[in-house]
Structure 1
Amino acid sequence: MSCGTSSCQSGGCDKYDVQPCSPTKPSSTVNSRRRQLPQNPNICVKCKVNDAIAGGSGGGEDGRFCTDCFRGSLFGKFRFAVTSNGMISPTDKVLVAFSAGACSRVALQFVHEMQDKAQKNFDASRDKSLSVFSVGVVFVNETSALGVSTVEADEVIEHVKAVVNELAKPEKLLHIVPLESIYELNPDDDRERLRRMLDAVGDSTGKEDVVTHLRMLCLQKVAVENGYTKLVLGTCTSTIARHVLSATVKGKGYSLPADIQYVDARWQVPVLLPLRDCLSQELSTLCQLDGLKIITMANGTHTGINALVSSFVSLLQDENPSRECTIVRTAGKLTPFSFNRLPDIDDPKELLAFQRRQKKFNIKSDESTPPESFCSLCNSPLHDLDSSFGSFAIEHLSTESFGTTCCSSCRFQILSDNQLSMDQFYSLLPQSITSRAAVSNSSDNHIMLREKIQDFLLSDSEDGN
């Protein structure tokens, strides 16, 4: 049925609007009618063609995008983090830490796809000017620390081997190392020493934190010994959100910005977090969609701060799916440290590319930041209040002096007030920790001495040179 105006060609306006068409604004009327047409909520918001993923949680992008767009969006976040921060260069040798869980599985898959694309570009190029970065995979077996059965551990290791072998070329070298290998003695003595050291820590949260610190030392050991230049972790938004709250509760607020950035170069081999903007729910969904097999090693029941915070954040996420992102976004406003960027680049071509990235993404480097002092146990940057504990001269590092080189959180959660337990714990520490404490203490004493005689030193303009 027509609305009666001479300009109307619809023949039935009353199906969409009870008001007659206005002959003076036909285009706006058509647009308003289109807006009133019912929309299909199951259509992908990006391509608007395919159906969105069914059963999405709504907290991330699953449930808004179709399978292809969902995967493309996650890989886009990963690629943007790598590109904007200059994480991987053609000459790099990248080591991916693989735990067989969803996050590290996606990290391994995305790094492999980047390498595969670089290899195809290299094969297609005529001048072969850009080489292809190599990739290795490391799995840290924490059976001795977690008390997992040998059968279960062997099952996880076989799964890890199968995943790496199934990846297409270029081939990846797989490193499977036990956590106790940081002692470098013999397997039986190493396991016993690790167990005794963990038994000397009375606090359950402290034990978990020690295992975390030892894991990083183990990853660094593998990376250094095999010549890797970058270490990629599968740490995601969900993991960082939990770390933000747990670190705050433990009194590690000062060092918190160091752990949540894309790049952490305080270690000998810089650590990269390319999945920092992805939720664990999204990564698990991607594993299901792409058939990426994952397996989780049982690690017992935890009752410490880390477990309580994890449960609390899970409840928050169930109530409001944007809570994890909000926590990380809020913590991201903290000022990062000077080591939260990659060190200076010597290669002219890579340096030019890095400078272009800085200009494009408005990256500002703060080279005026003074060097940091680090905790001998967890390697967290020390606040002035923490470092003041070690401001007296010590000729030889001892059990008592070791505590002065640690942060307040480690002193409270890990180090014991009982002298016998403390002596046992210190005697069982790996050499990599005790040697770092000695170097840190020597450096602190040097800085303290220089500050005391600063008034008597000649400046460059006064020494006559």
Structure 2
Amino acid sequence: MACNGSGTGCQSGCYKDDTDDNLTTENKLPADVNGDDNHCRHRTRCLKCKAVEATVFTGGDGGGRFCADCFRSNLYGKFKLAVTSNAMISPTDKVLVAFSGGPSSRVALQFVSEMQLKAQKNYDATANRDRSFPVFGVGVAFVDESEVHSVISAVTDKAVEDIKQIVSNLPPPIKELHVAPISNVYSTKTSDGKEMLKSLINAVGDATGKEDLLSHLRMLSLQKIAIDNGYTKLVLGSCTSRIACHVLAATVKGQGYSLAADIQYADARWEVPVVLPLRDCPLQELSILCNLDSLKTVETFNETSAGINSLISSFVKILQEENPSRECTIVRTAGKLTPFPFNRIPEANADDADLASQRRHKKFNIKPIESLPPESFCPICNSPISSYSNPESSRELFRAACCPSCQYQIVPDEPSSMDQFYSYLPESIIARAKHGNQKWIREKIQDCLLLDDEDEV
């Protein structure tokens, strides 16, 4: 018998009636056991289909548990939404995918290839009716940086062979592979580009400056490949994780004004516009997909650096381990910065615009760009510059045309070193600096110029 809850503080354990005994797992009714099992199964089911057991667990914004099929669908959906809502790829485009060998560029290549395959199937299905949906072309570019890294030639050759195999195994249509040394940026200036490149890199004393300059030269090399082969868009595999690191690194290096230019979905300040379709995809998810689908990656040039970029990367990695949402939060916060007018793909001419592209622009209210913005651009990193000054000394003209970050970390201070550094620059960088100087002069004498519709007195 029980004490009837008399409140006497009985410690004998007799305060419960036999009918109220706690049921152990073994004594529970079958319905109770099934209820717990159902709850456990519910907690491990895929969040999307809610029918299959989850096998993939992710962190960050939108993270959770998925089955393999839903995980692929969710990740591809992020990619497709970024491409469609920002008009990154139109049926008349010829797209060049920059491939570095890592998970990000590997997934970017895979997704672009899948999108092209679907477009090809749609095109074949309308072969006997209306061919208003042409299929965009796809090429792959790999920039060989072994000239500036201490890499054994056999390792580089193996990496190139692996890349060739990856590209050849992609579904049709066939993708053309372009493998070019990073010194190809000198092809229009001198045949001894390799030595010029080494001299240019060695002329920079700052470790972060060396790394940044190499990154800028890589972009110039990709642009050259795209221009020489008639590509209209350049796809980079920059993901949420990499962009988060760039946000913090750019802030530390004093690139706050130009930061918004680099983190948007599209960037039309380049001759061949650059697009980032994986901007909303964390590296963790991209790596998981590579493992799930056995997407082969390639180990290329991974040298450790003591510069700011490496420190920031390690810092963000620690933040991500503590809170899986940190990378997404950093990118989302930086995304509130006002983008530049060139952070939108210009609308095609009416004569060239296809029906699908017109419908896409109408759906997402994409407004055309009337003209390029009036900002000046750094000749080295192509960052927009808020103000531009032109000194009297001709030796300082190039320095004055550069952004403060490049002036501090890349351009030498000593006049003699500056002269050497300038002599090693690719012609494309020098041409941009000259264009900036001419633009500055024109702005200064703008009031004295006659307009086309004005008659001379």
TM-score, reference length from structure 1:
0.85
Q: 1:242 aligns with which of 242, 245, 250?
A: 245
- 1:9 is matched with none
Would you say 1:376 and 2:379 are equivalent positions? Answer: yes
For 2:256 and 2:193, the matched residues in 1 are separated by 34
User: What's the CA shift for 1:53?
Assistant: 2.0
Q: Matches of 1:226 and 1:324 in 2, distance apart?
A: 36
Using the TM superposition, give the Cα deviation of residue 300 of structure 1 relative to its aligned residue in structure 2, in angstroms.
2.0
Q: Distance in 2 between matches of 1:176 and 1:368?
A: 34
Return the match for 1:438 from 434, 441, 455: 434
Counterpart CA distance in 1 for 2:428 and 2:154 is: 31
CA positional deviation for 1:393:
6.8
Residue of structure 2 in register with 1:325 after alignment: 328
* Residues 62 and 70, structure 1, Cα contact 8 Å, conserved in 2: no
Counterparts of 2:167 and 2:304, CA distance in 1: 30
* Cα deviation, residue 360, structure 1: 3.2
> What is aligned with 2:19?
none
SS of aligned partner of 1:146: coil
- Identify the residue that residue 232 of structure 1 maps to in structure 2: 235
* 1:214 partner letter: L
Partner residue, 1:429: 425
Is the partner of 1:211 in helix, strand or coil? helix
The correspondence of residues 268-287 of structure 1 with structure 2, limited to 5 A, is: 268-287=271-290
Report how many aligned residue pairs link the two structures.
426
2:132 pairs with one of 129, 134, 137: 129
* Partner of residue 403 from structure 2, selected from 394, 403, 407: 407
Displacement of 1:343: 1.7
Structure 1 stretch displaced more, 292-301 or 400-409: 292-301
Superposed displacement of residue 58, structure 1: 2.6
CA distance in 1, matches of 2:361, 2:147: 44
| 8 Å Cα contact 2:60/2:328 also seen in 1 | no
Q: Deviations over 1:307-329 (max 9, x none)?
A: 01101111110000000000000
| Pairing 1:109–2:105 present | no
Give 1:441 shift: 0.8
Aligned equivalents of 1:132, 1:80: Cα separation in 2:
19
2: CA distance between counterparts of 1:353 and 1:131? 10
Relative to structure 1, is the Cα distance of residues 186 and 269 closer, same or farther in structure 2, using a 3 angstrom cutoff?
Answer: closer
**8 Å contact from structure 2 (residues 55, 67) kept in 1:** yes
Q: Map 1:139-178; keep pairs closer than 5 Å.
A: 139-178=142-181
Deviation, 1:168, is 1.9
Is this contact kept in 2: 1:85–1:357, CA < 8 A?
no
Q: How does 1:82-93 map to 2 (within 5 A)?
A: 82-93=83-94
- Listed one character per residue, the Cα deviations across residues 253-274 of structure 1 (whole Å, up to 9, x for unaligned) are 0001110111100000000111
- CA deviations 1:227-286 (Å, max 9, x no partner) are 111111101111110100100111110001110111100000000111111001100000
Deviation (angstroms), 1:349: 7.4
Match of 1:260 in 2: 263
Specify the alignment match of 2:415 in structure 1.
419
Query: Cα–Cα, structure 1 residues 417 and 44, in superposed 2: closer, same or farther, change >3 Å?
Result: same
- The structural deviation recorded for 1:76 is 0.7
Cα separation, partners in 2 of 1:347 and 1:363, compared to 1, 3 Å: closer
Cα distance in structure 1, aligned partners of 2:211 and 2:289 = 29
* CA deviation string 1:340-359 (max 9, x = no partner): 11123113573765564455
* Aligned counterpart, 1:77: 78
Aligned residue runs from structure 1 range 61-72, under 5 A? 64-72=65-73
User: Would the alpha carbon gap of residues 453 and 315 (structure 1) be closer, same or farther in structure 2, given more than 3 Å must change?
Assistant: same
The answer to which of 123-132 and 285-294 deviates more is 123-132
Would you say the 8 A contact 1:62–1:282 is kept in 2?
no
Partner of 1:336: 339
Residue 458 of structure 1: how far off its partner (Å): 8.6
Structure 2 unaligned regions, length at least 5: 1-27
Deviation per CA, 1:16-65, whole angstroms, max 9, x where unpaired? Answer: 7xxxxxxxxxxxxxxxx99x9555322101111222125x3533667511
Matched-pair contact (CA < 8 Å) for 1:198–1:207: yes
1:307 is aligned to 310
SS in 1 for 2:147: helix
Query: 1:114 Cα deviation (Å)?
Result: 0.7
Partner Cα separation in structure 2 for residue 325 and residue 362 of structure 1:
26
Say whether the 8 Å CA contact 1:399–1:426 is kept in structure 2: no
Q: In structure 2, how many angstroms separate the alpha carbons of the residues matched to 1:212 and 1:243?
A: 12
Structure 1 residues 114, 458: CA separation in 2 closer, same or farther (over 3 Å shift)?
closer
Structure 1 residue 13 displacement after superposition: 11
In structure 1, list runs of 5 or more residues that go unmatched: 1-11, 17-32
